[in-house]
Amino acid sequence: MSAPEQLPDHDHGLLRFLTCGSVDDGKSTLIGRLLFDTKTILVDTLSAIEKTSAKRGMSAVDLSLLTDGLQAEREQGITIDVAYRYFSTGTRKYIIADAPGHEQYTRNMVTAASTANLAIILIDARKGMLTQTRRHSYLASLVGIPHLLVAVNKMDLVDYDQATFERIRADYLAFAAKLGIGDVRFIPLSALNGDMIVDRGERLAWYDGPTLLEILESAPAAHTEQAEDFRFPVQFVCRPQDSSNPELHDYRGFMGRVESGEVAVGDPVTVLPSGARSRIKTIELGGAKLARAIHEQSVTLLLEDEIDISRGDLIVKSSEAAEPVKEIDAIVCWLAEAPLSTARTYLVRHTTREVKAKVARIDYRLDVNTLAQEPASVLTMNDIARVTLKLAQPIVADAYRSNRATGAFIVIDESTNNTVGAGMIA
């Protein structure tokens, strides 16, 4: 093995993005190309997919095999579930989620979208916008992905024609305006030939914007640039009772992750839903004491006063309080084969809290093509609807658009323990 002189010492953090769009628009091929052109694919992986491509009688290497790792996917040439792939440019680490295009697997696309900061929506230049393009765009904006990048792919099959690209752009912008999507950019490319992904290629000279990789390198990594309220759901309470160390005798550490905002030693805090108040005494991370904790950091908080706190409670700054509620309005994506039943009781997991819930009413179901709101009495798989939920115990919630962590929940069917719905509080 040979070695470079040294590793880059600066770190621009991490960007998570997904590829989505309709069936066969080239999502998996695009990721394969991105990995190939950034030299992320190692020799043995490449030779393995070369062999597989040859076995299937293909003349060129099928780059989609890089992410379509399941036997069933390779047999059918489609993506069924999300594949996660990683690459690093030396300055930034990327986590890529390759989502399936088939409508049947929409729930897997929602899984991929929920953690992404940027979505690449592929459109086949020959076909233009399709129902799945609209559905995925809607879902991407619904889960609050702040940056959308529309990639008009297979430009090689339309002779790299600029007018085709412009027409699709105009169609998309008309749709995006209805959704209220703000940050959307467009790029023409050929995933198969590698035009405008890492290299510009020669056939798209009329396009003077950045390449796909350049866009990724400069995209903001955070979901929002806005200051957010501090939200700390307690995951676990640490009481080292059996310890022989007398200093630990009264130790009560509240363990969790800063889901939004930040907190500093001395800050007045309120514990919800009880409403008990105290101040931050210490912030710990692996034995080290920190002056403050920021967004996404997993830490342990110790408070000045002894108050009763357990898993499921939420610690907030007293100046940024939130209200416990027992009824919520939310947009729900139904993810299960068994339809949603308003007669049944479900389990809602919100932050680290689980409560029983019933759907009091389905306000409307959304037609993703027209964005029309239709009346509905039942929801089936992949339906998106606005519902009202009644909860057995209160949760401390924010609207999803102002706080993703305290605005999101999942619905669990207790008979199977399956995750059957994803909800965003209105």
Partner 1 sequence: MSTLTRQTLSHLDWLEAEAIHIMREVAGQCSNPVLLFSGGKDSICMLRLAEKAFRPGRFPFPLMHIDTGHNYREVTDFRDKRAAELGERLIVRSVEDSMARGTVVLKHPGESRNKHQSVTLLEAIEEFGFNACIGGARRDEEKARAKERIMSFRDEFGQWDPKNQRPELWNLYNARSHKGENIRAFPISNWTELDVWQYIQREELELPSIYFAHVRPVVRKGDLLQPVTELTPARPDDKIEDMRVRFRTVGDITCTAPVESDADTVAKILLETASTTITERGATRMDDQTSEASMEQRKKEGYF
Ligand X SMILES: Nc1nc2c(ncn2[C@@H]2O[C@H](COP(=O)(O)OP(=O)(O)OP(=O)(O)O)[C@@H](O)[C@H]2O)c(=O)[nH]1
If the CB atoms of residues 29 and 406 are measured against Mg ion, the closer one turns out to be: 29
Shortest reach from residue 64's CB to ligand X, in Å = 4
The residue within the footprint of ligand X, chosen from 78, 301, 384, 412 (CB under 6 A), is 78
3-class DSSP state of 89: coil
Q: Which does 166 bind (CB under 5 to 8 A by kind): partner 1, Mg ion, ligand X, none?
A: none
Site stretch for partner 1 (CB under 8 A), options 148-156, 275-283, 349-357, 364-372: 349-357
Q: How far is CA 245 from CA 6, 248, 250, 264, 304, in A?
A: 44, 6, 10, 27, 20
If the CB atoms of residues 102 and 167 are measured against Mg ion, the closer one turns out to be: 102
Shortest reach from residue 215's CB to ligand X, in Å = 17
Site stretch for partner 1 (CB under 8 A), options 20-28, 146-154, 360-368, 412-420: 412-420
Q: Which does 295 bind (CB under 5 to 8 A by kind): partner 1, Mg ion, ligand X, none?
A: partner 1
The whole-angstrom separation of Cα 71 and Cα 48 is 14
Longest dimension (CA), the chain: 76
Establish if 20 lies at the interface with ligand X (CB under 6 A): no
Q: Is the peptide bond before 273 cis (omega within 30 degrees of 0)?
A: yes
Q: How far is CA 250 from CA 240, 276, 291, in A?
A: 9, 19, 21
The whole-angstrom separation of Cα 379 and Cα 361 is 11
Shortest reach from residue 296's CB to Mg ion, in Å = 29
Establish if 93 lies at the interface with partner 1 (CB under 8 A): yes
Establish if 58 lies at the interface with partner 1 (CB under 8 A): no
Residue 152 tokens, joined: 């008009």
Establish if 137 lies at the interface with Mg ion (CB under 5 A): no
Q: Is 145 exposed, middle or buried (0-12, 13-18, 19+ CB in 10 A)?
A: buried
3-class DSSP state of 37: helix
If the CB atoms of residues 74 and 203 are measured against partner 1, the closer one turns out to be: 74
If the CB atoms of residues 22 and 28 are measured against Mg ion, the closer one turns out to be: 28
If the CB atoms of residues 70 and 307 are measured against partner 1, the closer one turns out to be: 70
**CA 126 to chain centroid:** 29
Q: Is 250 exposed, middle or buried (0-12, 13-18, 19+ CB in 10 A)?
A: exposed
Pairing state between β 314-317 and 268-272: antiparallel
The whole-angstrom separation of Cα 371 and Cα 180 is 12
Q: Cα 218–222–227 angle (5° rounding)?
A: 130
Do 378 and 340 contact (CB within 8 A), yes or no?
yes
Shortest reach from residue 136's CB to ligand X, in Å = 10
The residue within the footprint of ligand X, chosen from 34, 64, 256, 406 (CB under 6 A), is 64
Establish if 28 lies at the interface with Mg ion (CB under 5 A): yes
Q: From 109, 98, 20, select the one nearest 333 (Cα to Cα).
A: 109
Establish if 277 lies at the interface with partner 1 (CB under 8 A): no
**Which distant-in-sequence residues (6+ apart) come within 8 Å of 203 by Cβ?**
155, 156, 160, 190, 195
Shortest reach from residue 309's CB to partner 1, in Å = 13
If the CB atoms of residues 14 and 177 are measured against partner 1, the closer one turns out to be: 14
**Which distant-in-sequence residues (6+ apart) come within 8 Å of 141 by Cβ?**
148, 179, 180, 181
Question: How many of the chain's residues bind partner 1 (CB under 8 A)?
Answer: 81
The whole-angstrom separation of Cα 49 and Cα 155 is 25
If the CB atoms of residues 27 and 231 are measured against Mg ion, the closer one turns out to be: 27
Residue whose Cβ sits closest to ligand X: 101
Establish if 383 lies at the interface with ligand X (CB under 6 A): no
Q: Which does 369 bind (CB under 5 to 8 A by kind): Mg ion, ligand X, partner 1, none?
A: none
Give the per-residue contact string, 363-382, with partner 1 (x = CB under 8 A; - = no). Answer: --------------------
The residue within the footprint of Mg ion, chosen from 16, 17, 22, 27 (CB under 5 A), is 27
Site stretch for ligand X (CB under 6 A), options 140-148, 184-192, 222-230, 253-261: 184-192
Residue 110: Cβ within 10 Å count: 22
Q: Which does 153 bind (CB under 5 to 8 A by kind): Mg ion, partner 1, ligand X, none?
A: ligand X
Establish if 302 lies at the interface with partner 1 (CB under 8 A): no
Q: Which residues between 59 and 88 bind Mg ion (CB under 5 A)? A: 79
The residue within the footprint of ligand X, chosen from 192, 303, 366, 395 (CB under 6 A), is 192
Give contact residues for Mg ion (rule: CB under 5 A).
Answer: 27-28, 79
Give contact residues for ligand X (rule: CB under 6 A).
Answer: 23-29, 64, 78-79, 100-102, 153-154, 156-157, 190-192
